[in-house]
Amino acid sequence: MNNIKGIIFDLDGVLVFTDHYHYLAWKKMADSINCYFDEIINNKLRGVSRMASLDIILENYKGIPFTKEEKEALAFKKNEIYKDLLKKMTPDDVSRDVRDTLAELRKRGYKLSVGSSSKNAKFILKQVDLIDSFDAISDGTNITNSKPDPEVFLKGASFLGLNPQECAVVEDAYAGIDAAKAGNMLAISIGDATSYDKSDIKLTKFSDLLLYFK
Ligand code: G6P
Ligand code: MG
């Protein structure tokens, strides 16, 4: 790994766990329009942008199709509920394993960035007191194409002043591993994505990163 100078981390499912908050917020929105939604569908939304997530959820909607404006209103409503739930997050929502590993990687000279499709990424990082652990943040506010498009990671690399080949990506979603590979980066999986054969390195726990990045 001696060519790697920067590591880009997905947020949801890697640094913090917001899946359940996404679920609760989408569920409330789906119930309000009588649309079936469950945790299995929610799992398909990892790494997927807000509007693309809504389209996946609406595949189960049997009523008259919504206009673009109505869809935007539904996504807005979900996000208001989601943001309210995020306010409950505290620094205790980040494990010691994650916090100490990030600090050690920085100490070893690696540049660190977040690479998340979420437009709420900075808000979440502030809530859990992780915002100062990174040299750059690339998120849903600076991209037009979400994962599996590599844009969010390519921007992350450029914010760090590095070439994609000098960067590794840590991801829990298949779409994120695809994005890393499409961007010509080393793809490291954790959680669900470890069962994806496209990932280059599989982590059992976050601090295993220290075994690869000396
Ligand atoms: C992350 C999550 C997705 C979410 C997306 C957009 O990638 O894994 O589940 O849909 O961010 O999040 P946002 O906070 O902008 O709605
Ligand atoms: Mg994720």
Active site (annotated) includes residue 12? yes
Q: Which ligand 1 atom is at minimum distance from the Cα of 79?
A: 16
How large is the average pLDDT for residues 70-93? 97
Model confidence at 89: pLDDT above 80: yes
The pLDDT, as a whole number, for residue 47 is: 85
Residues framing ligand 1 (Cβ under 6 A): 12, 22, 45-50, 53, 79, 116-120, 140
Q: What is the pLDDT of residues 23-56, one digit of tens each?
A: 999 999 999 999 999 999 999 998 899 999 999 9
Q: What is the pLDDT of residues 180-205, one digit of tens each?
A: 999 999 999 999 999 999 999 999 99
Q: Which of 10, 93, 139, 149 is catalytic?
A: 10
The pLDDT, as a whole number, for residue 185 is: 98
Q: Which ligand 1 atom is at minimum distance from the Cα of 176?
A: 7
The pLDDT, as a whole number, for residue 2 is: 72
Q: How far is the CA of 60 from the centre of ligand 2 (A)?
A: 23
The pLDDT, as a whole number, for residue 178 is: 98
The ligand minimizing its distance to the Cα of 176 is 2
Q: How far is the CA of 200 from the centre of ligand 2 (A)?
A: 17
- Higher-confidence position of 46 and 212: 212
Model confidence at 1: pLDDT above 90: no
Contact status, residue 19 vs residue 12, Cβ threshold 8 Å: yes
> From atom 11 of ligand 1, which residue's Cα is the shortest distance away?
118
The pLDDT, as a whole number, for residue 123 is: 97
The ligand minimizing its distance to the Cα of 120 is 1
The pLDDT, as a whole number, for residue 20 is: 92
The pLDDT, as a whole number, for residue 195 is: 97
In one-letter notation, the amino acid at residue 29 is M
d(CA 22, CA 55): 15
Burial of 108 (C-beta count, 10 Å sphere; 0-12/13-18/19+): exposed
> From atom 13 of ligand 1, which residue's Cα is the shortest distance away?
118
Q: What is the pLDDT of residues 97-145, one digit of tens each?
A: 999 999 999 999 999 999 999 999 999 999 999 999 999 999 999 999 9
> Which of 48, 84, 122 is the best mutation target for the ligand 1 pocket, counting ligand atoms within 8 Å of the beta carbon and taking the most?
48
147: Cα within 13 Å, side-chain hemisphere: 28
Q: How far is the CA of 63 from the centre of ligand 2 (A)?
A: 31
